[in-house]
């Protein structure tokens, strides 16, 4: 074997080593971005439903969604931007620093805790509007997930709150899913109960799988639009 250390003078050895390093670096740079360019990066901004409350790390919404997308041939990194107990105000406050430069899409799944607290719909609307303004300024593709509120706070509050998502989806020309739980809607209440944890609010592992089956096609469309 030809030994650089013995065959060349010290300055020549330095030049050869430097040249080899440059070739290696060039090969790395040539292969790295080519792989990275195909990957789509999406931030899932939400609350405990997005965070995977009460579940093992691999059982939550984001890992199950990522696996669902991968099974359909999509190279997607879905970032878990869910914070348990978070409101639309909290999501707006942390959105900017949650968006890394490579991010191409945003799933907005906030408002459930606003609903539970009986937040003034005008406040929630302003917060979701702020989130969409940031997404628009960043050139992000957005999927907006709505809320269907019960009538606990009266029909006027209910109507005003429920209107937030379709109104803003039309205003910003972004796709909207009526409910995070679209994958279990239409099922018998007893069957739905079996898909919820003991608190009756958060889905089990199987419940998340059903939710992903319902939301997955909408996210797949989002991913496809980013990859174009």
d(CA 9, CA 164): 75
- Tell me the DSSP string of 42-111: EEEEESHHHHTTTS-GGGSHHHHHHHHHHHTT--EEEEEEE-TT--HHHHHHHHHHH--TT--EEEEE--
d(CA 128, CA 144): 9
Nearest CA to 119 out of 158, 148, 82 is that of 158
CA separation (Å) from 64 to 57, 68, 208, 227? 10, 6, 8, 21
Which residue of the set 48, 86, 88, 114 is catalytic? 48
For residue 202, indicate whether it is catalytic.
yes
Which residue of the set 41, 86, 114, 202 is catalytic? 202
For residue 225, indicate whether it is catalytic.
no
For residue 88, indicate whether it is catalytic.
no
Which residue of the set 3, 57, 188, 199 is catalytic? 199
- List the 105-109 sheet strands across, edge first: 76-82, 40-46, 105-109, 141-145, 176-177
Q: Which residues are catalytic?
A: 48, 199, 202
């Amino acid at each position: 074997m030809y030994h650089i250390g013995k065959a060349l003078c010290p300055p020549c050895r330095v030049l050869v080593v430097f040249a080899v390093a440059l070739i290696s670096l060039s090969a790395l740079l040539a292969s790295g971005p080519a792989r990275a360019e195909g990957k789509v990066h999406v931030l899932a901004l939400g609350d405990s439903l997005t965070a995977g409350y009460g579940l093992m790390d691999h059982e939550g919404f984001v890992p199950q969604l990522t696996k669902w997308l991968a099974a359909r041939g999509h190279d997607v990194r879905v970032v878990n931007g869910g914070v348990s107990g978070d409101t639309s105000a909290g999501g707006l406050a942390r959105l900017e620093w949650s968006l890394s430069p490579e991010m191409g899409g945003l799933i907005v799944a906030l408002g459930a805790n606003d609903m539970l607290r009986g937040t003034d719909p005008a406040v929630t609307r302003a917060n979701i509007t702020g989130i969409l303004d940031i997404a628009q300024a960043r050139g992000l593709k957005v999927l907006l997930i709505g809320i269907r509120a019960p009538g606990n706070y009266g029909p006027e509050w209910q109507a005003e709150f429920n209107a937030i998502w379709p109104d803003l989806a039309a205003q910003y020309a972004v796709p909207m899913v009526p409910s995070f739980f679209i994958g279990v809607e239409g099922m018998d209440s007893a069957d739905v109960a079996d898909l919820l944890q003991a608190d009756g609010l958060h889905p089990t592992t199987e419940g998340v799988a059903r939710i992903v089956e319902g939301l997955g096609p909408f996210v797949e469309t989002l991913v496809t639009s980013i990859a174009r």
